[in-house]
Structure formats: structure tokens, C-alpha cells
Amino acid sequence: MATFVSLAPTDVRFPTSRELDGSDAMNPEPDYSAAYVVVSTDADDGLEGHGFTFTTGRGNDVQTAALTSIGPWLIGRDVDEVLNDLGAFGRELTGDAQLRWLGPEKGVIHMACGAVLNALWDLRAKRAGLPLWQLLARMTPEELCDVIDFTYLTDALTREEALAILRGAQAGRAEREAELLIKGYPAYTTTPGWLGYSDEKLVRLSKEAVADGFDLIKLKVGASVDEDVRRMRIAREAVGPDIAIAVDANQRWEVDQAVEWMSQLAPFNPRWIEEPTSPDDILGHAEIRARIAPIAVATGEHAHNRVMFKQLLKAQAIDVVQIDASRVGGVNENLAIILLAAKFGVPVCPHAGGVGLCEVVRHLAMFDFVAVSGSTDQRYIEFVDHLHEHFYDPALVDHGRYIAPTMPGSSAQMRPQSIADHTFPGGPVWAGV
């Protein structure tokens, strides 16, 4: 019998603020960071599980402290027992009455639970010798539903309805797996659109994106409407009428302000407006969507759990479900959200970027294609060309499509040298700052 012997967190920070990569209207100077965790066992295979929460710098220490607090749940437990029933372990962790008080199921403590669950999924996939997306895509509908916590969902999605959706997609799973391995999955790019970039850089990167095969790019907006109109015009002229341009306000607006601002951007035919207002404001998103139709509304990267996604869908507040690999309660909760989206017929277009989000979330989108939606229509995974070199199994995009990963695991594993260099505050990158 093998047992878990350690849960080791590290505070890893990349000094991205020095180059204004990742600058948007709400996050002017982020240092992309990971509260990183490795779970180890005493099994002979020597395999470890890796996971993380993405943050933007300050507070990564608090997130790391939260990971430490989860250690006692795992250390000493039977590896097979935990990994074979990650649904039960997830419910135990996110349902613990005392930890739950710090959320419930939101913020620092919930993201820490998610990082640990993701690390366990990474380990499970490595032990199975499969990339996470294939591990998930080959589980039975019953096994998948056992992973999901249906608590607070049953007015929108019951276990029986989820089973029916999954069973309906069983035919063709093998063909779609094969298709993914050949063709990959559609990507869009945010690389050209950061607020801190010059016009020249915006034009150059927009044209490069088109040349690289992307048919959807995204611009950050929300700091100044005149600037946004100007930049949107520049980008539209750079890419021409046939390339879609999404815009992202990163929560900067009041409800009325979102409606007015989008009326000024409407002539440039935005594909969607992302995070127009507070991620908590379900009713606000619904009102904005109704008032700016037919422009689509997207949100999700800061929606903190399945209950929020349930309501966004029930209220017809969004056209695009933007799951995030590290915000909610891990793979477990993202499975619930993917099935909610399927129930309501809304496409999932994952949020990515940051540190490692592209690497991990592609597994979830590919699972969605193989085992749930069966389609890539209206679906894209965000791609940002930052920091991939720090990962063993980096996200690769070719001609506008994510290549399907084949390395066993969830792709969360960072290179040891990258971790050592960027450990905060002791690593050489931060020394003397």
C-alpha cells in the first residue's frame, strides 16, 4: 500500500510587470505567479502530482499558506483509495465545515482545494500513462458523474441529466480523440491586445496573429472609451473584416457604462464583450446582454464556483462560458461547469494565459469536445504566448490550433530550474528587488 508522504507548496513569481505583459484595465502591473504544489507518495513509481493556483503577484504567499493548510488532509492517506475516488476526496476537502467557513467554496481556500485536486488528477493521469484529457474522455458517464458534486445544482442539472448528456456523446468518442490528435483544437490569441502595448506593437502583433492562422484575436478595453475606439479601429484595419475581434473589459464597468461603451465599439463588430462588470453580478450580466444584443457576453474566469455558473446560465446572462483551470475546485468542479454549459447549450471557451493556464485548460476543452459537446463550433481556447518555456509539456499552437498534448498528466509540471529561479522572495530573479 502506497501513501501520500508530502504536499509541498512553493511561491513562484515571474516579474512580468517589468515588460507590461498582461496589462489590462483592472490589472495594470501584474507579476504572473503560481502558488505551486507538489504531492508525493512512497510508491515505487516515483511519480508526483503537480498543480497550482495562478495569481498576479502580491498575495501569492497567502495562497501558498492555504495550500500548506491542506496538507493534513492528504499526508498519510492511501494513494489508490484517494485517486480512485477523487469525487469523494473533493467533497471531503471543499465540504470540510471549518475550512468551508473561509469561503464557502470561493476565494483563497477554494482555489487551494482546486490546486490540490488538480495535482491529484495530474498524478492519476501519470499513473494511467495518459494525458489528462484522454484519461477523462475514456471514463464512463457513471465514473465522471461520481466526480461531480451536484450539491446546489439539482434545480438546473441532476445526476440523471448529466448522465444522459454524457451517454449521448459516447458514440464517436474514439473518432473525436483521433481527430484531435490530427487536427488539434481551435485557439484564439490575446497576445496583440494588452493595454500597455504601443499602436505599432498592436498592429504588428495583430498581423502576425492572422499570419499565424488565428481567426479570432482579443483586445483589452475599459480604461478610456476614446482610446478603445481608436485601438479597435487600428486592430480592425490591421486584420481586415473577416477576422473576429473579441474585447475584454476585465470588470471595469457599471451596468449602464458597459452598455454605453459597447455601443461605441459596436461599429467594429466585436465578437464578444468579456467581463463587462463584476464577476459576481449575474443580474448585471443578464441586463447588459439583453441591452447590447446581438453582441455576445462572455465571462467565467473569475466566477468562483459551479453555483455562479448555474445562475449565469439560468439567467441567460452569457453566450460564452469561460472556464478557468485554477479558479474553481479543480477538475471536479470544472466537469460540473462543462456539463452545465452543455445542458444550457452554451459553448465553453476556456480562459487561459497567466502562468500554466494554457497548459492545463486545453485538457478540459479537449475532454469537452470528445465526451460532452462533440463539437468545436463556436469554441476556442484562449492562447497567450507567455511563459510556456517553464513547463515540461508546454502549450503548442500551430496555425491557430492547439496541438493535443500526449505526455501523461495534466501538463502542470514546471521545470525545476524555473521554480528555483523564480521562487519568491529568495530566487535569483527576485534577489535585490
98 binds its own copies (CB under 8 A): yes
The distance of Cα 107 from the centroid of its chain, to the nearest Å, equals 15
311 binds its own copies (CB under 8 A): yes
Q: Name residues whose C-beta falls within 8 Å of residue 334's C-beta, 6 or more positions apart in sequence.
A: 323, 325, 328, 364
254 binds its own copies (CB under 8 A): yes
Alpha helices in 31-129 (DSSP H): 60-74, 79-84, 86-95, 97-100, 107-128
Distance from C-alpha of 98 to C-alpha of 202, rounded to nearest angstrom? 48
Q: Which is nearer to its own copies, 38 or 317 (CB)?
A: 317
**CB 179 to its own copies: min, Å:** 36
Binder among 63, 134, 189, 190 for its own copies (CB under 8 A)? 63
- Known active-site residue 351: yes
287 binds its own copies (CB under 8 A): yes
The distance of Cα 375 from the centroid of its chain, to the nearest Å, equals 19
**CB 86 to its own copies: min, Å:** 21
Binder among 12, 26, 137, 262 for its own copies (CB under 8 A)? 26
146 binds its own copies (CB under 8 A): no
Q: Which stretch, 201-209, 301-309, 390-398, 422-430, contacts its own copies (CB under 8 A)?
A: 301-309
Active-site residue among 220, 363, 386, 422?
A: 220
97 binds its own copies (CB under 8 A): yes
279 binds its own copies (CB under 8 A): yes
277 binds its own copies (CB under 8 A): yes
- Known active-site residue 399: no
Q: Which is nearer to its own copies, 103 or 394 (CB)?
A: 103
427 binds its own copies (CB under 8 A): no
Q: Interhelix angle for 306-314 vs 330-344, to 10°?
A: 10
148 binds its own copies (CB under 8 A): no
Q: Which residues of 135-145 are buried (b: 16+ CB within 10 A; e: fewer)?
A: bbbbbebeebb
160 binds its own copies (CB under 8 A): no
316 binds its own copies (CB under 8 A): no
Cell of 55: 495569481
Q: Which is nearer to its own copies, 9 or 400 (CB)?
A: 9
Q: Are strands 296-299 and 320-321 parallel, antiparallel or unpaired?
A: parallel
255 binds its own copies (CB under 8 A): yes
**CB 310 to its own copies: min, Å:** 8
Q: Which is nearer to its own copies, 89 or 367 (CB)?
A: 89
**CB 277 to its own copies: min, Å:** 6
Alpha helices in 212-281 (DSSP H): 225-239, 255-265
Is-contact 210 239, C-beta < 8 A?
A: yes
Distance from C-alpha of 181 to C-alpha of 335, rounded to nearest angstrom? 22
76 binds its own copies (CB under 8 A): no
Q: Are strands 4-13 and 244-248 parallel, antiparallel or unpaired?
A: unpaired
Q: Name residues whose C-beta falls within 8 Å of residue 404's C-beta, 6 or more positions apart in sequence.
A: 131, 133, 180, 181, 184, 185, 362, 366
109 binds its own copies (CB under 8 A): yes
Query: Quick one: CA dihedral 100, 339, 85, 359, positive or negative?
Result: negative
Distance from C-alpha of 276 to C-alpha of 195, rounded to nearest angstrom? 16
Residue 281, CB half-sphere, CA atoms under 13 Å: how many? 17
Q: Which is nearer to its own copies, 177 or 275 (CB)?
A: 275
3-class SS of residue 220:
strand
User: How many residues in the shown chain lie near its own copies by CB under 8 A?
Assistant: 60
- Name the site residues for its own copies (rule: CB under 8 A): 26-31, 55-59, 61-63, 65-66, 69, 96-112, 151-152, 154-155, 251, 254-256, 277-284, 287, 302, 304-305, 307-308, 310-311, 314-315
Q: Which residues are catalytic?
A: 220, 351
